[in-house]
Amino acid sequence: MHAFHLFGTALVGLSQFVFHSHPATPFESKILTPDLDDYIAGILKEWNSVAGAGVAVVRLKDDGEWQIETKGYGNARLDGTKVTEETLFAIASNSKLFTALAVGQLIANESLSPRISWDTKIQEFIPEFDMMDPTASAATSIVDAMSHRTGLPRHDLMYRLHNVPLDVQLKYLKPSLELRESFQYNNLMYTLLSYIPTALLPARPTIADISINSSVTRHTGFWKVPKISQKVTN
Ligand SMILES: *[C@@H]1O[C@H](CO)[C@@H](O)[C@H](O)[C@H]1NC(C)=O
Ligand SMILES: *[C@@H]1O[C@H](CO)[C@@H](O)[C@H](O)[C@H]1NC(C)=O
């Protein structure tokens, strides 16, 4: 298993721990306590992991201020470099959360005209969206694409072909199920969903707009970024 998969799993597991185990914690108090440090170190040990984890706790306090705690645990690299709060990880499919959040913000945006909802058909605002099955193409909504139920299987080899435009890729990929028949994990649909902010907003939003300025969004040059964690296989 790759280190960044471990990271994703750890993050989900920890947030559940954090939010369900301390219902009585006063709001001002720290969450990343020595107890929790031990718990996280224990998980890494239990998984026999040579890698590490970055943990962030963000919550809105009663006074309207944000409480932010960040900390690194374990090793970032096999040379023994430790994970710090600035270590970057290959985020892999956790980037889908950013896509879902960006689309959710547009759905909540009352100044958007026309408004969109989770059930809005994608062709209504991205007319180029065209799969092999025209009926499925016309009926596919945002939530269909987001919940992996368009009928299209992974076709991940196409996913790597960044020089072929997505509308061209999708048109020639065979579905293996009907729309909404079942869950089939599909990365291409998240590429499609990532175009929604661009299609609906006057300016293309970037991660720098939300002050995420030390990360990169492309594979190109990724491994040259300082403070990057190494990919390791247990
Ligand atoms: C909401 O929509 C308006 C109008 O298109 C746009 O100017 C604004 O940036 C949007 N806000 C967000 C958070 O997307
Ligand atoms: C990212 O940008 C914000 C706002 O411009 C700045 O305050 C912060 O220091 C920057 N962070 C890094 C790691 O460069």
pLDDT digits (tens, 9 = 90+) for 130-146: 999 999 999 999 999 99
pLDDT value at position 9? 35
Q: What is the mean pLDDT of residues 68-79?
A: 93
Which ligand gives the minimal distance to the CA of 213?
2
Strand partners, 88: 228
What amino acid is encoded at 8 in this protein? G
- The tokens for 194 are 């990532």
In the block, tokens 């072929």 appear at 164
Rounded to whole angstroms, what are the CA distances from 151 to 13, 69, 137, 183, 196? 30, 41, 10, 8, 20
Q: What is the DSSP letter of 29?
A: S
Minimum mean pLDDT range among 71-80, 101-110, 119-128, 224-233: 224-233
What amino acid is encoded at 224 in this protein? K
Per-residue pLDDT band for 203 (boundaries 50, 70, 90) equals: confident
Q: Is the CB of 111 under 6 A from ligand 1?
A: yes
Per-residue pLDDT band for 28 (boundaries 50, 70, 90) equals: low
Strand partners, 58: 68
Minimum mean pLDDT range among 18-22, 79-83, 142-146: 18-22
Nearest-CA residue for atom 14 of ligand 1: 106
Q: Is the CB of 208 under 6 A from ligand 2?
A: no
Which ligand gives the minimal distance to the CA of 214?
2
Ligand 1: residue of 101, 109, 116, 198 to mutate (most ligand atoms within 8 A of CB) is 109
Nearest-CA residue for atom 6 of ligand 2: 211
159 Cα to the center of ligand 1, angstroms: 29
Q: Which of the pair, 12 or 187, is modelled with greater confidence?
A: 187
Q: What predicted TM-score, i.e. pTM, was given to this entire model?
A: 0.77
Which ligand gives the minimal distance to the CA of 116?
1
What is the position in ligand 2's atom list of the atom closest to the CA of 213?
A: 1
207 Cα to the center of ligand 2, angstroms: 12
211 Cα to the center of ligand 2, angstroms: 6
210 Cα to the center of ligand 2, angstroms: 10
Nearest-CA residue for atom 10 of ligand 1: 109
Average pLDDT of every residue of the chain: 84
